[in-house]
């Protein structure tokens, strides 16, 4: 039996790659994506030229029976990093295009993916709306929340998958995923040899200087010291008045207040350090914020023992167990031990694309595309479990 599917919001083809790797006699009939660079990479890898817009797909385009829809519908309106405008944003309304096409082609199964916060945003009204619309057109839905790190891929990337089964084939039995095996993570096997990596990926200039400055103060803390979640060092020395402090947003006042015991304990050290490095710490607002997410200070501790991201909220330091979530904006993880950004090819491995997958020649495009992509291994797990359950393999 050949399984024919439509790849909606296809990106660079994470769902397509998962179907190919399952070797389940599947065929992509149509794909679509709004991003031209994604369409180019999809064509290079799968020899299919996606349509530009899901709205371009209509009932006159396909005569064959469609078995499956798949797609990670736009998540910017639901993401924790965004403004959570939900369906006030046109991108949020694109979910309705899936419903429109499902009415036309009535696929047996739909595999849809989004960020986990879609379950909470809009006071729960968004997920309520989604499930109601799917129910209205005759689909039962099972939701899975999984991350690559649950299955030996060292990236924490929690996503929800909606497995939508057409009512007339639904068997009223829950689909079971394989047991999680995330305790065997070895992130180093996903990395290239340091000697083989282009020099352009190694941090230099202000970024390196800023991290070295923070590393200097970290090494002066006592072993066992608990660092406040975010040290906002410029606010310690900006001489704000009580009136100015009271005008700060609550989150900022909270961090400043929680910083005070640490600053007081190490005040002579902080004073000397800040006076020496205030130029770099004040150069950009984010340089003066350290978000330390790796617990108490350890013996011979260093900022370079961990993964680092330069975020809008500041410098985030995370445990070197698995990589932070890859995102489509400029927060490329820094591998502290080697003082470098991870490369696009390493990002591709973390998204479970094989090394023979063709990436863009433009790193900026690759980072964005991979940050937006579904994880191939997670998708394959979901699809394989579903098709096995319904004896469609």
Q: For the segment 340-358, what is each residue's pLDDT rounded down to a tens digit?
A: 999 999 999 999 999 999 9
pLDDT score, position 90: 47
pLDDT score, position 328: 60
Q: Which CATH architecture fits 3-182+374-389?
A: 3-Layer(aba) Sandwich (3.40)
Q: How far is CA 200 from CA 8, 36, 37, 204, 324, in A?
A: 35, 26, 22, 9, 21
pLDDT score, position 186: 79
> pTM for the full model?
0.89
Residues 165, 140: contact at Cβ < 8 Å?
yes
Listed as ranges, residues in the chain with pLDDT below 70 are 75-92, 182-184, 328-330
Among candidate residues 310, 354, 352, the one with its CA nearest the CA of residue 332: 310
Distance CA 316, CA 332 (A): 11
pLDDT score, position 204: 97
Residues 192, 177: contact at Cβ < 8 Å?
no
C-alpha distance across the termini of the chain, in Å:
8
Distance CA 210, CA 208 (A): 5
Distance CA 197, CA 185 (A): 23
β-pairing verdict for 289-293 and 109-115 = unpaired
Distance CA 325, CA 328 (A): 10
Q: For the segment 122-135, what is each residue's pLDDT rounded down to a tens digit?
A: 788 889 999 999 99
Among candidate residues 175, 140, 107, the one with its CA nearest the CA of residue 389: 175
- Which residues of the chain form CATH 3.40.50.150? 3-182+374-389
Show the DSSP H helices in the chain as ranges.
Answer: 14-22, 36-46, 90-93, 95-105, 125-136, 205-218, 233-236, 242-247, 250-265, 267-281, 344-350, 363-372, 376-389
* Residue 263: both structure tokens together: 């600053």
Residues 205, 239: contact at Cβ < 8 Å?
no
Nearest-5° Cα angle at 233, 227 to 237? 135
pLDDT score, position 192: 94
Among candidate residues 79, 86, 171, the one with its CA nearest the CA of residue 124: 86
pLDDT score, position 79: 45
Residues 303, 218: contact at Cβ < 8 Å?
yes
pLDDT score, position 80: 43
- Give the distance, in angstroms, between the CA of residue 389 and the centroid of all CA atoms in the same chain: 28
Residues with a catalytic annotation lie at 75
Q: How far is CA 129 from CA 9, 107, 126, 138, in A?
A: 20, 20, 5, 14
pLDDT score, position 81: 40
Q: CA torsion 250→253→255→259, rounded to 10°?
A: -160
């Amino acid at each position: 039996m050949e399984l024919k599917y439509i790849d909606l919001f296809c990106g660079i083809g994470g769902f397509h790659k998962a179907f190919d790797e399952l070797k389940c006699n599947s065929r992509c009939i149509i794909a679509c994506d709004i991003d031209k660079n994604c369409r180019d990479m999809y064509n290079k890898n799968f020899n299919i030229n996606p349509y530009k817009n899901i709205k371009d797909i209509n009932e006159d385009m396909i005569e064959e029976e469609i078995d499956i829809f798949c797609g990670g519908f736009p998540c910017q309106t639901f993401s924790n990093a965004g403004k959570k405008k939900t369906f006030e944003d046109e991108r949020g309304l694109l979910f309705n295009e899936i419903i429109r096409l499902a009415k036309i082609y009535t696929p047996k199964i739909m595999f849809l993916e989004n960020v986990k916060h879609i379950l909470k945003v809009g006071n729960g009204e968004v997920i309520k709306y989604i499930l109601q619309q799917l129910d209205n057109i005759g689909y039962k839905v099972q939701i899975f929340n999984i991350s690559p790190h649950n299955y030996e891929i060292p990236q924490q990337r929690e996503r929800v998958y909606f497995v939508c089964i057409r009512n007339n084939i639904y068997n009223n039995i829950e689909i079971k995923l394989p047991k999680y095996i995330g305790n065997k993570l070895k992130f180093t096997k996903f990395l290239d040899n340091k000697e083989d990596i282009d020099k352009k990926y190694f941090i230099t200039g202000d970024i390196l200087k800023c991290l070295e400055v923070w590393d200097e103060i970290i090494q002066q803390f006592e072993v066992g010291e608990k660092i406040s979640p975010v040290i906002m060092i410029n606010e310690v020395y900006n001489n704000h008045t009580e009136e100015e402090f009271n005008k700060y947003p609550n989150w900022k006042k909270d961090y400043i207040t929680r910083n005070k015991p640490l600053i007081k304990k190490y005040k002579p050290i902080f004073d000397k350090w800040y006076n020496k490095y205030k130029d770099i710490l004040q150069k950009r607002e984010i340089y003066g914020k350290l978000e330390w997410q790796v617990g108490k200070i350890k013996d011979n501790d260093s900022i370079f023992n961990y993964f680092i991201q330069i975020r809008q909220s500041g410098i985030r330091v995370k445990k070197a167990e698995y990589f932070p979530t890859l995102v489509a904006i400029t927060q490329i993880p820094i591998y502290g031990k080697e003082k470098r950004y991870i490369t696009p090819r390493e990002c591709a491995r973390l998204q479970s694309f094989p090394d023979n997958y063709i990436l863009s020649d433009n790193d900026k495009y690759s980072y964005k595309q991979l940050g937006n992509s579904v994880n191939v291994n997670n998708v394959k797990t979901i699809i394989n479990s579903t098709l096995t359950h319904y004896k469609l393999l």
